[in-house]
């Protein structure tokens, strides 16, 4: 019950995670940053605004996908627990 309470009060953030240095995720982040800096140096103000809107939309899409993945994983975990306690019905 403590975990549910901690989740309710916002002390558990299932969407946050550390990206270890020199990991595949870190390398991808560095690549994205490098390309973003290069792109921004070549764009005018209107083009920069369009890129920012695109970035915001991609971030929102990624967030929705992560949320769906979390929900599906949670449901699968609950089903696995239920089957382990009660057997397959």
Residue 19 forms part of a structural domain: no
Whether the pLDDT of residue 24 is over 80: the answer is yes
Residue 6 forms part of a structural domain: no
Residue 29 forms part of a structural domain: no
CA-atom Rg of the chain in angstroms:
20
- Orientation of helix 24-42 relative to helix 45-86, angle to 10°: 160
Q: Model confidence over 58-68: pLDDT tens digits?
A: 999 998 998 89
Whether the pLDDT of residue 14 is over 80: the answer is no
Can you give the residue range of the structural domain that contains 75?
45-89
Q: How far is CA 78 from the centre of its chain?
A: 21
- Number of domains observed in the structure of the chain: 1
What pLDDT shows up at residue 1? 58
Whether the pLDDT of residue 80 is over 90: the answer is yes
Whether the pLDDT of residue 22 is over 70: the answer is yes
- What phi, psi does 12 have (nearest 5°)? -115, 130
**Residue 51 near residue 43, CB atoms below 8 Å:** yes
Compute the residue count for the chain. 89
Assign 89 a pLDDT band (cuts: 50, 70, 90). Answer: low
Residue 16 forms part of a structural domain: no
Residue 25 forms part of a structural domain: no
pLDDT-above-90 percentage for the chain: 61
Residue 89 forms part of a structural domain: yes
Average pLDDT, the chain: 89
Rounded Cα distance between 66 and 17, Å, is 12
Rounded Cα distance between 73 and 14, Å, is 12
């Amino acid at each position: 019950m403590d975990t549910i309470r901690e989740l309710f009060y916002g002390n558990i953030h299932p969407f946050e995670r550390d990206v270890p240095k020199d990991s595949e995720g870190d390398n991808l982040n560095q690549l994205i940053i490098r390309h973003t800096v290069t792109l921004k140096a070549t764009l005018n103000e209107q083009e920069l605004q369009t890129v920012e809107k695109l970035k915001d939309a991609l971030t929102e899409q990624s967030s929705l996908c992560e949320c769906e993945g979390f929900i599906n994983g949670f449901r699968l975990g609950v089903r696995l627990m239920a089957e382990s306690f009660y057997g397959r019905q």
